[in-house]
Amino acid sequence: MEPLDQQFIDFYRAIGKSYNFDDLTSLIFARLFIDPEEVAMEDLALETGYSLASISNKLKILESGHFIVRRPRPGTRKVYVYAPKDMLKIVMSVLAQYQQGEIARVKSGIPPMLEALKGKKLGKREKAQVEILKKYYDDSLFVDGIVTKFIADLEREEQE
């Protein structure tokens, strides 16, 4: 492994902790990000000393977060993986996933819960829970607005 590869991998292990990545997940992402080419999953297993199953499990985590993409090659059974290098697109993808996941569910799920409680006699605990749900909903809408604006800003930046 080249010195720059190792420096970046060591550097990224600390960043990976902020994403709650374990050491192997951080290692795999850093290895793929610093490499301009695709890397075969088998090669990652050989380099790291981990089984192909372990590598595959960690790649699923990275793939679900849009940090990496799998690229099967026609005519071969090998699976290659690649880390996109455009951080703006990665960030936009993660934010869009957040909006389509939690925020979309909050928008569709919380109002019916609150509506079902309207006109009912609530105890102290239920009233407190209603306030918690209202705040969660309001905060989610606020964050949704910020995320929408931030994605639009990133898209403009990308076009420049």
Are both 137 and 91 inside the same structural domain?
yes
* Pair of tokens at residue 21: 């990545």
> What is the pLDDT at residue 43?
94
Which of 82, 108, 126 terminates a domain? The answer is 82
The answer on 109 and 69 residing in a single domain is no
> Per-residue pLDDT for 17 more than 90?
no
Based on the domain organization, do 12 and 77 belong to the same domain? yes
Q: Roughly how many angstroms between the first and final C-alpha of the chain, as a whole number?
A: 36
Check whether 148 has a pLDDT greater than 90.
yes
> What is the pLDDT at residue 108?
96
Residue appearing with tokens 């799998």: 70
Angle at CA 142, nearest 5°, toward 136 and 147?
A: 120
Looking at the structure, tell me whether residues 39 and 98 fall in a common domain. Answer: no
- What count of other Cβ atoms lies within 10 Å of the Cβ of residue 110? 17
Radius of gyration of the chain (CA): 21
Could you tell me if 36 and 23 lie in one domain? yes
Q: Are residues 93 and 52 in the same domain?
A: no
pTM of the model: 0.71
Instruction: State the Cα–Cα distance between residues 81 and 79, nearest whole angstrom.
Output: 7
Whether 73 and 104 have beta carbons less than 8 Å apart is answered as no
Write out pLDDT tens, residues 44-71. Answer: 999 999 999 999 999 999 998 888 999 8
- pLDDT of 77: 84
Q: What is the pLDDT of residues 85-138, one digit of tens each?
A: 988 888 888 888 889 999 999 999 999 999 999 999 999 999 999 999 999 999
Number of domains in the chain: 2
pLDDT at 137: 97
**Domain residue limits at 138:** 87-159
- pLDDT at residue 11 in the model: 93
Extract the runs of DSSP E, i.e. beta strands, from 11-100: 39-40, 69-72, 79-82
Q: Say yes or no: 60 and 111 in one domain.
A: no
The rounded distance, in Å, linking the Cα atoms of 66 and 55 is 16
Same domain, 77 and 91: no
pLDDT at position 107: 96
Quick one: 103 exposed, middle or buried, by C-beta within 10 A (0-12, 13-18, 19+)? middle
User: Are 131 and 153 within one domain?
Assistant: yes
